[in-house]
Amino acid sequence: MTDRLLDALSQGLKTYDLARQLRIGMPQSPNHPQFWHVLPRRHGDMVRADGGSAANDMITTGTHVGTHIDALAHVSQDGRLHGGADAGEACLGGKYVEHGVHTIEPMIRRGVLVDVAAHKGVTALDGGYEITLDDFTATLAAQGTEIREGDVVLIRSGWGAKFDEGAAFVGGPSGVPGIGPEVGEWLADRGIHAAGADSIAFECLKPGAGHGLLPVHRIFLVENGIYIIEAMDLEEVSRERVLEFTLMLVPLNIFGATGSPVRPLAVVSGE
């Protein structure tokens, strides 16, 4: 370790967990396989001569379930991935070599919370509400924060508070609040590295529309190479007004995958 890092650690750090716990039956997009966890072997199924025993787990899951990151291979437009790669040819042997999740480098970057729900004085924005650019910039001004090149921008609509309600979090008939193309283009113009939200599909879902149209996914993943983090838990950082922090995030190193579960952390000085 460098002396500077040792000094920082000695002063104390506070860490906020921004991930949802992986549980059977948790709400998820209907487009992806569900999370499942079983114990093929439990204590007592096999006991060693000395009385010792071991339990073993097995999980199956879609890579876009729970708190997760979208790799650039996740979305194509008119048959092309980010940088113009042919979406069909990019999939070699069932793996996306060029833009798979294994190409995402570990993130240790400046993070910014844009707490739109708190700025508007509501627990959660209404289902289907599209966060406008005026909403977004007014929130930044009220917080006294700015967006810089290379940042990871986390947007709180308050919808994450519905996670434990199951179907309500998915939206369906109600829709889900989030940004639309206007804010997406504005953020892309500022050269952010990644963006996340406390909702199921990051961007605004209109009532009854499901996940049929996701224009911000196109703007970020295909046109600008910006990663998307979904289904984050932003309630604690909102309550404690942690608006700027070091964001730490490492995807699972799955070769050729379109996404990965993640456990992002917001780290601040403990002083």
Task: Catalogue all structural domains in the chain, each as residue range(s) with its CATH number.
Answer: 15-20+64-269 (3.50.30.50)
* Maximum C-alpha span of the chain: 69
pLDDT tens, position by position, 179-201: 999 999 999 999 999 999 999 99
Q: Residue 7 and residue 252: Cα distance in Å, rounded?
A: 30
For residue 212, what pLDDT is reported?
A: 78
For residue 208, what pLDDT is reported?
A: 85
Q: Give the percent of the chain with pLDDT over 90.
A: 87
> Are 196 and 24 within 8 A, CB to CB?
no
pLDDT tier for residue 9 given thresholds of 50, 70 and 90: low
- Three-state secondary-structure class, residue 227: strand
Query: In sequence order, what DSSP letters do the residues of 106-147 get, joined into one string?
Result: PEEEEEEEEEHHHHHT-SSPPTTPEEPHHHHHHHHHHHT---
Mean pLDDT of the chain: 94
pLDDT at 149 over 70: yes
Q: Residue 57 and residue 37: Cα distance in Å, rounded?
A: 7
pLDDT tens, position by position, 39-88: 999 999 999 999 999 999 999 999 999 999 999 999 999 999 999 999 99
Q: Residue 234 and residue 229: Cα distance in Å, rounded?
A: 12
pTM of the model: 0.94
Q: Residue 45 and residue 40: Cα distance in Å, rounded?
A: 9
